[in-house]
Amino acid sequence: MANVQHNALTDPNLHEPKGVAAATAGKCYVSNGAGSGTWKYIPTGWGYYKDNSSAQTIGSTAVKLSIDGAGSTTSTVYLPYEIRGTGNLWNTTTDKITPINIGDAYDVRLDLPVTGKSGTPAIVTLELDIGGGGTPTIVVVELDTPTSKTPPYNISIAFPIFCLTTFNTNGGQIFMHTDTGSIDVTAPGIFIGLNTSGTF
**Type of residue numbered 117:** K
**pLDDT over 90 (residue 31):** no
- Please give the span between the terminal C-alpha atoms of the chain, in angstroms, as a whole number: 41
**DSSP 8-state assignment for residue 137:** S
Q: Considering only CA atoms, which of 179, 188, 186 is closest in space to residue 69?
A: 188
What confidence tens digit (pLDDT) does each residue in 120-145 have?
999 999 999 999 999 999 999 999 99
pLDDT digits (tens, 9 = 90+) for 68-85: 999 999 999 999 999 999
pLDDT of residue 198 exceeding 90: no
pLDDT at position 94 is 98
Percentage of residues in the chain having pLDDT higher than 90: 76
Domains of the chain, first to last:
6-41 (no CATH), 45-196 (2.60.120.1120)
Residue 25 half-sphere exposure, CB side, CA atoms within 13 Å?
6
List the single range of 1-5, 51-55, 63-67, 106-110 with lowest mean pLDDT.
Answer: 1-5
Measure the CA–CA gap between 109 and 66, rounded to whole angstroms. 15
Among 163, 103, 166, 154, which residue's Cα sits nearest to residue 130?
A: 166
Q: Is residue 178's pLDDT more than 60? A: yes
pLDDT band, very low/low/confident/very high, at 28 (cuts 50, 70, 90): confident
pLDDT in tens, 152-171: 999 999 999 999 999 999 99
Average pLDDT value over all residues in the chain: 92
Confidence of residue 23 (pLDDT cuts 50, 70, 90): confident
Q: Which pTM does this prediction carry? A: 0.88
For the segment 8-28, the average pLDDT, to the nearest whole number, is 73
pLDDT at 185 over 60: yes
- Write the CA distances from 142 to 68, 124, 145, 150, 177, integer angstroms: 23, 11, 10, 24, 11
